[in-house]
Amino acid sequence: MTPLAGRARLLDLRPPVRRVLIHSLFLGLAINIADLLFNFYLVSQGYGTDTAGLMSTVSRLAGMLLGIPMGLLIDRIGAQRAIQLSLLVYSGGWLLMLQGQSLVALIVAQFIIGAAFLTALTAVVPLLATITSDDERTGVLGLNASATMVAGLGGGMLGGLLPSGAALLLGVGPQDTAAYRLALGIVVLLSLLALLPIVRPLSNGAEVRTAGPSPLDGRRLPLKRLVRFSLSAMFLGIGSGVILPFQNLFFREVFGLSDSGVGIILATVAVCMGLGALIGAPIGVRIGLRRGATILRMISVVGALIMLIPSLIPATIGFIIRGTFIVASYPMSDALVMANTPLRQRGMAMSLSSVFWAGGWAVGALAGGYMQVRWGFNPLIIVAAVNYLFSALAILTLVFPEGDKR
């Protein structure tokens, strides 16, 4: 397939694919608003950066502990039903979170939210894999990642304004707990809106193919091979978990930005990440999925190190480079795994990736919270860069069975 042909196909998306992308837009909007405001909500209740790291760890720990059952559930009831169920649980978890008062209640709610979020995130790739052909899959996965990230533009801008609007309605300060609680209520609404496009069946469950039978049909890969596919996700989880839960605090505390100022930066970063997701397909066509994913993650290492410069503009540029090229590698790494995994094991393969990613994130976030309190943000950035490098090397050194698609 030529790059031109790939783009032409992506411009003529079938209705099931469009519906999944609309779902991802709404969910991405909800996630970005939650990411922006949740740490501020904790701070308004008197908690510190270490608690923010703990909550992020709890969320990913839920995915790590429940990852295998989630994979079995996805393969058993289907990816679409799994996403529907997870969105309902995700909305309920946020309702519990916004009513919780004690740290224990917040932890329980965060565990529920984390399990539901990771189920939805895990299931969307197998879902798209069943309604796309082999030659268009990387591009569609890139569009899906882009939809989620571009929604960050609206999420960042809207999320930055919501506390002030809520404060006016309630007659409290813009950094009051009540203002953040009301502002976060929109996450529940958007999560339910994300459910609407995928309520009706997307397909009859038959995979779309254009390249004939797969050499993997009728086979089951050993667990150790699926685990090896997921190793890069663990390093990526550590690198992202050590810095991303504190990204809003990084810009507010290091550079003294307001909530709206942080929101504008995160919105800009989200747009760049969304655009970055679109470059994965043409790069994969030209140089291959494995090589392309490796190179892009190497570039993200450079971006992370630029964040060490103690000035707002270079730090923001480095943050953009880090996020853009990490996201650009997602469609290629996911398509690489899907192309080399039998249909009936794809839910498990993505679930294992989520388990390793969540486990890495949990370790990184917990360590990052305590490291930041003691030594500031620079050690976090260095740890992130080192783990992005390991993630790239884990992809580069993959060995596939005969008949693989690289």
Q: Using 50, 70 and 90 to split pLDDT, how confident is the model at 190?
A: very high
The pTM of the full predicted model, rounded to 2 decimals, is 0.69
How does pLDDT run across 356-383, given as a tens digit for each residue?
A: 887 788 788 888 878 888 888 899 999 9
CA 16, CA 24: separation in Å to the nearest integer? 13
Residue 7 located in a structural domain: no
Number of domains composing the chain? 1
Residue 9 located in a structural domain: no
CA 130, CA 80: separation in Å to the nearest integer? 10
Residue 181 located in a structural domain: yes
Token pair for residue 185?
């209520």
| Containing structural domain, residue 357 | 14-199+222-396
**101: CATH:** 1.20.1250.20
CA 257, CA 50: separation in Å to the nearest integer? 20
Residue 215 located in a structural domain: no
How does pLDDT run across 316-347, given as a tens digit for each residue?
A: 999 999 989 998 888 888 878 877 777 777 77
Instruction: Report the mean per-residue pLDDT for the chain.
Output: 81
CA 305, CA 273: separation in Å to the nearest integer? 18
CA 45, CA 57: separation in Å to the nearest integer? 19
CA 368, CA 375: separation in Å to the nearest integer? 10
Token pair for residue 351?
């679930």
Q: What is the DSSP string of 66-114?
A: HHHHHHHHHHHH-HHHHHHHHHHHHHHHHHHHHH--SHHHHHHHHHHHH
Residue 211 located in a structural domain: no
Residue 367 located in a structural domain: yes
Predicted confidence at residue 296, as pLDDT, reads 93
State the average pLDDT over residues 74-90. 89
Predicted confidence at residue 196, as pLDDT, reads 92
Q: Using 50, 70 and 90 to split pLDDT, how confident is the model at 216?
A: low
How far is it between the farthest Cα atoms of the chain?
66
Q: Using 50, 70 and 90 to split pLDDT, how confident is the model at 7?
A: very low
Residue 130 located in a structural domain: yes
Residue 216 located in a structural domain: no
State the average pLDDT over residues 57-77. 79
